[in-house]
Chains A and B, each alone.
Chain A
Amino acid sequence: MAGASPTRNWRRSSAEMWGLGYNAALVATGAGLLGAAAGITGTFLVLRKRALVSDAIAHATLPGIALAFLVMVAFGGEGRSLAGLLFGSALSAWLGLLCVGWLTHATRLSEDAAIGAVLSVFFGFGILLLTVIQSLNVGRQAGLETFLLGSTAGMLYSDALTIAVGGGLATLAALVLRRPMLTAAFDPGYAVATGLDVRRVDLAMMGLIMAVTVIGIKIVGLVLIVAMVILPPVTARFWSNRVDRVVLIAGVMGGLTGLLGALISASAPNLPTGPIIVLTGSAGFFVSLMIAPRRGVLAALLARHRYQRRVHLRQGLLALAHGHPVYERFTLRLLSRAGLANPDGTATDKGRAAAARALLDESRWQILRADPAQEIAASHYDGLRPIETVLTPDQIAQIDTRLAPRPLT
């Protein structure tokens, strides 16, 4: 799959970074900048719940690449100029985007169907054109297939430079446009009221996604570039509820993913750059999915377990307060570990005191909940929450006057 000889185009230079060739370092930098731009822009796309539009854009670049090659060859060029190919890919990606919009707005098809249709038809047409190029026998095998899965082997210095500069510009543009895109994504009505042209902001966002896609297809490939747009924002979402931080984290995450992926892939043979970048990103995603505080799976499990323990403890104490021994094993273990119950299920001295407090709290809640005037305060009742966190000492004292004296065992 790789080009003829990677080393031939490898411009060995004194400026070797990380023990890699100058080109590899430049590619890694480009991938990092590209990842940052993709992460930032992708956040807004994901916020608008249109993540897979980027997949349609990516697949729609293929006919443009092939046509650009054909045009360049027709005008006597070699047809390999990366800038020319990228220009073609941008044109057809734009056309694909227009088709998605047309199918969504002018017909009753939903956006996902429009995305799927554009994606498969443009891609199919692109493959068709690739076979046309093969059959023309122009003698210069274009190597256009490398755009499918990306390839950094045999990349020219000028190509790497194009990608690095493009990635940097896209990052910059995404940072500049961050505010309006945010407003448009969260509250289109408000955005319009403040004089923001939401359609133009949307257009700018799509333009940026397109730019990122077009720049990225050489490294990551058009089948996988969608991951660079989606993975950083959904990963960042685990770590914060504040959108400005999500944007920031997504940018950093995307940049690191691109940089690390490119470095790992350059470190050994048979590690294709695109898939390695994607897998680095999804490793970040799945780790975040597991360990993120609050939104992660482990945090949710822990919270559930903690809640379960509180419920069991409370119910156990109430049972003790009513003089019933505790037989349920989990509850008994919790109680005895806290020194509140004996192994036979009866209360210790400390347990009796705690049980009395729990019963008092419960009785206060019952009085509060029976009073229609206290409906709002009573709505905080969940069987666990101490009443002190809802009422002032004065109010509690008032409730206590209505407590019927009840013997505690």
Chain B
Amino acid sequence: MIGAEFVALSLPPILIGCLAAIACAIPGNFLLLRRQALIGDAISHVVLPGIVIGFLVSRQVSTWPMMLGAGGAALVAVLLIEVVRRAGKLEPGAAMGVVFSTMFAGGVLLLEQSDTSSVHLDVQHALYGNLESLIWLDATGWASLFDMQALAGLPPELPRMAITCLIVTGVTALLWRPLKLSTFDEGFARALGLPVRALSLALVIMAAMAAVAAFDAVGSIIVIAMFICPPAAARLMTDRLGQQVGLSVVFAAISAVTGYVLAGYGPLWLGFDNSVSAAGMIATMSGLILALAAGFGPRRAPRIA
């Protein structure tokens, strides 16, 4: 299993899956603690209209217009949720439901109306990505990792995801103290003069960035699952934020690796011919980890109010 074939076919998807999972899990921690966990859900739904509009404007299936469209749609959705919540005096959940279902429905309609049948752009792809297809054809073995010519043939999703992951990690590290303060005690943070609203916007933008980049590579199921499951599992293990974020990264990586391996090789071990959806398996693994944490985690008990 560990050979040329592995390097070419499995290593890039595993790495991309890991990076995507980690990039989503890190902002997910803060969203979870701020009770905004479902923002990730909303963002990953509105990505669809975003890429469709990106495609319709640019008339080509290239990455940048679509990612710009997706990012724009995410921001529009976040603003619209806030507007609807205030103007309609609705609870956040209802406002979210109104906005993301409307935008998603609009996206599906646009897709059906426009002539996109000739290109590879469909709802299924948006939902569960195609992690399995991100292969590295130029690789001939482990030595290719040091071969510049072969490295140039890496799927472009890999460097993109790596950069996104680096940015998310870097911004989180940079804003660590203010983010922590404003997450746990917003009033105190404001009293200290921290720009609380800007911080919360920065967090949402970071989440949107991770979601858009990850969705392109792995589809939105993984995005939603990774925003919530690893941080939630980590939250049941520890009371310290640093440890929680660290654990969530570990859980995310474990889900991605085991999920991909089980989806790719599991059915073969059981004697079937075809592999199953890696995105689905990764989400399932993260759910299993969460279930274990919820059953046995040392800090799982509900707070006594």
Contact = CB atoms under 8 A, between A and B. Distances in A.
Interface stretch (B175-183, B204-212, B294-302): B294-302
Contacts of A115: 37-38
Contacts of A238: 88
Contacts of A51: 91, 93-94, 97
A116 B25 CA distance: 13
B97 A148 contact: no
Name the interface size band of chain B: 35 or more
Nearest to A221: B108
Nearest to B97: A230
Given A106-B302, A108-B301, A116-B228, A282 B283 contact: no
Contact of B112 (A122, A145, A272, A282): A272
Contact of A108 (B272, B275, B299): B299
B94 A275 contact: no
Interface stretch (B98-106, B140-148, B188-196, B244-252): B98-106
Interface in A95-120: 102-103, 105-110, 112-113, 115-117, 119-120
A125 B127 contact: no
A5 interface: no
B273 interface: yes
B21 to A, nearest CB: 12
B38 to A, nearest CB: 5
B41 A276 contact: no
Contacts of B297: 107
B101 to A, nearest CB: 4
Given A124-B283, A125-B283, A270-B113, A116 B41 contact: yes
A202 B15 CA distance: 45
A112 B37 CA distance: 6
B40 interface: yes
Contacts of A109: 232, 235-236, 294
B106 A279 contact: yes
B284 interface: yes
A49 B91 contact: yes
A279 B101 CA distance: 9
A227 B97 contact: yes
A282 B91 CA distance: 17
A276 B101 CA distance: 11
Contact of A278 (B91, B105, B275, B283): B105
Interface in B195-240: 221-222, 224-225, 227-229, 232, 235-236
Contacts of B93: 49-52, 112
Contacts of B272: 135
A178 B82 CA distance: 31
A378 interface: no
B57 to A, nearest CB: 20
Contacts of A55: 41, 97
A121 B287 contact: yes
A226 B102 CA distance: 10
B87 A289 contact: yes
Interface in B27-74: 32, 35-38, 40-41, 45
A240 to B, nearest CB: 14
A215 interface: no
B228 A117 contact: yes
Nearest to B99: A282
B303 interface: yes
A263 B175 CA distance: 52
Contacts of B35: 110, 112-113
Interface stretch (A126-134, A306-314, A369-377, A382-390): A126-134
A334 interface: no
Contact of B109 (A46, A49, A112, A276): A276
B101 A230 contact: yes
A234 B232 contact: no
A326 interface: no
A100 B74 CA distance: 26
A297 interface: yes
B281 interface: yes
Nearest to B102: A282
B302 A124 contact: no
Contacts of A107: 236, 294, 297, 300-302
A123 interface: yes
B108 A112 contact: no
Contacts of A125: 280, 283-284, 287
B301 A275 contact: no
A108 B232 CA distance: 9
Given A135-B273, A271-B112, A278-B102, A230 B37 contact: no
Contacts of B229: 117, 120-121
B276 A132 contact: yes
Given A113-B232, A279-B102, A131 B123 contact: no
B88 A127 contact: no
B98 A231 contact: yes
B170 interface: no
A274 B36 CA distance: 27
A223 B102 CA distance: 11
Contacts of A121: 225, 229, 283-284, 286-287, 290
23 contacts: A51-B91, A52-B93, A106-B294, A110-B37, A112-B38, A117-B290, A124-B222, A124-B281, A125-B280, A127-B279, A128-B263, A128-B281, A128-B284, A135-B273, A148-B124, A224-B104, A230-B97, A231-B101, A238-B88, A270-B112, A272-B112, A274-B108, A300-B87
Closest 7 CB pairs of A and B: A124-B283, A121-B287, A128-B280, A135-B274, A227-B101, A275-B105, A127-B280
Given A52-B96, A289-B88, 16 more contacts: A46-B94, A106-B300, A112-B36, A113-B35, A116-B41, A124-B284, A124-B287, A127-B221, A127-B280, A127-B283, A130-B277, A224-B104, A226-B97, A272-B112, A278-B105, A300-B87
